[in-house]
Chains A and B, each alone.
Chain A
Amino acid sequence: MKHKGRAWKFGANIDTDAIIPARYLNVTDPGELAQHCMENENPQFLQEVREGDMIVAETNFGCGSSREHAPIAIKAKGIFCVIARSYARIFYRNAFNMGLPIIESNEAVDGIQDGHKLEVDLEKGEIKNETTGQTFRANPIPPFMQELIDDGGLMAHIAKRGAV
């Protein structure tokens, strides 16, 4: 399945306090969390991001706390997927558990600037930069992790299999 959206570029070590500041951790409503996603890091993102846009970041995206609020806020903000050079490991699994696709690709991060138009095929692990015409490879999402995404996250995945 192919998906189109604009790129929002972020730097290295975007931590979970940047993604969703700790003062909102008493909030459980995803829509309300989304209203504060990256609010200190990039206020313009908060104002102008559109449904289906993508985050493109440098290394160690999602470092910090294990709060699931971080991927929830990103997903609820309408972000289709995150593309980064690397992720903090807790965030990596948290994102899948919450049903937010994230992919790793150095070449994509090298070749994408803020505002570029992208087309992403998660299953093939293919990222096309429609602004420049370049195509990048990412590691395809492993089948089990893809199942989590398709089912809408870990809890939904388990529920679907009748375990809860």
Chain B
Amino acid sequence: MPQWSLRAKNGIFYPDDITEQYVNGRAKRKYRFYESDKGAQYKDIKEFDASKIEPQVAFPHLPSNTKGISDVGTVFVDQAVIGSCTNGRLDDLRTAARVLKGHKTSSNVKLIIIPATQMIYRQAMKEGLFDIFLDAGAVISPPTCGPCLGGYMGVLAKGEKAIATTNRNFVGRMGHPESEVYLSNPAVAAASAVLGRIGSPEELGTIFPSP
């Protein structure tokens, strides 16, 4: 399932083989993997079954102000932003492409896609994801903060609403103080761009996780 649907302050994972593969060749300095002491005591242990949590949408104006996608109701959007430093990984773009393939964005919505890095940008291009995005009517941006903090490109006007996979939705975050930002994962943002309102990819017939 697409990533950023839950809110957490910090995530620490034990590095596995995939992590090592990733770090190897990328790290510019010698690295070292840390692990917990044997027999370490934990203050608290909580277990969650992420597969039972539906995608969450953060309503204005706090990232923690969330509702499950089925409780969102009708929220029309003027803009959808997929990517930035948050949720701009190759996996996220693949997810967005899977939802967008064969669809056009709503005529009321501008869709901006922001790969997180130049490397991801190039990989996404090579994989053909850009064709899907362009066919859907999206704008593909170079990696940038851009609209996330109302910097440029996609700055919201008074009363406009955006769904974004960025990580903050405070008052005036993406432009005018009377605009609104809703946060979601890339699949929901992509589906919303097509639907013209906040909605689930299932409404377009895309089911996650992949069969």
Complex-state Cα separation, A82 to B166, whole angstroms? 29
Q: A22-B149, A23-B150, A65-B168 are in contact. Are A13 and B173 (CB under 8 A)?
A: no
Q: Which of chain B's residues has its CB closest to A89's CB?
A: B9
Q: Is A17 an interface residue (CB 8 A)?
A: yes
Q: Let me know if A15 and B150 touch, CB within 8 A.
A: no
Q: Is A155 an interface residue (CB 8 A)?
A: no
Interface residues in A11-54 by Cβ distance below 8 A to B read: 13, 15-18, 21-23, 25, 40-41
Query: Which one, A13, A21, A65, contacts B172 given CB within 8 A?
Result: A21
Render A119-130 as a binary contact track against B, CB cut-off 8 A, 1 for contact: 000000000000
Query: Which one, B150, B151, B170, B177, contacts A64 given CB within 8 A?
Result: B170
Query: Which one, A17, A23, A25, contacts B171 given CB within 8 A?
Result: A17
In the complex, which range does the number of interface residues on chain A fall in? 10 to 19
Query: Which one, A21, A40, A41, A64, contacts B168 given CB within 8 A?
Result: A64
Q: Is B120 an interface residue (CB 8 A)?
A: no
Q: Which of chain B's residues has its CB closest to A40's CB?
A: B177
Q: Is B1 an interface residue (CB 8 A)?
A: no
Q: Which of chain B's residues has its CB closest to A39's CB?
A: B177
Q: Let me know if B151 and A22 touch, CB within 8 A.
A: yes
Q: Is B6 an interface residue (CB 8 A)?
A: no
Which chain A residues lie closer than 8 Å to B150 at the CB level?
21-23
Which chain B residues lie closer than 8 Å to A25 at the CB level?
149
Min C-beta distance of B19 to chain A, whole Å:
25
Q: Which of chain B's residues has its CB closest to A14's CB?
A: B170
Min C-beta distance of A45 to chain B, whole Å:
15
Min C-beta distance of B64 to chain A, whole Å:
9
Q: Let me know if A18 and B170 touch, CB within 8 A.
A: yes
Which chain B residues lie closer than 8 Å to A64 at the CB level?
168, 170
Q: Is B62 an interface residue (CB 8 A)?
A: yes
Complex-state Cα separation, A16 to B171, whole angstroms? 10
Which chain B residues lie closer than 8 Å to A41 at the CB level?
171
A interface list, Cβ under 8 A from B? 13, 15-18, 21-23, 25, 40-41, 64-65
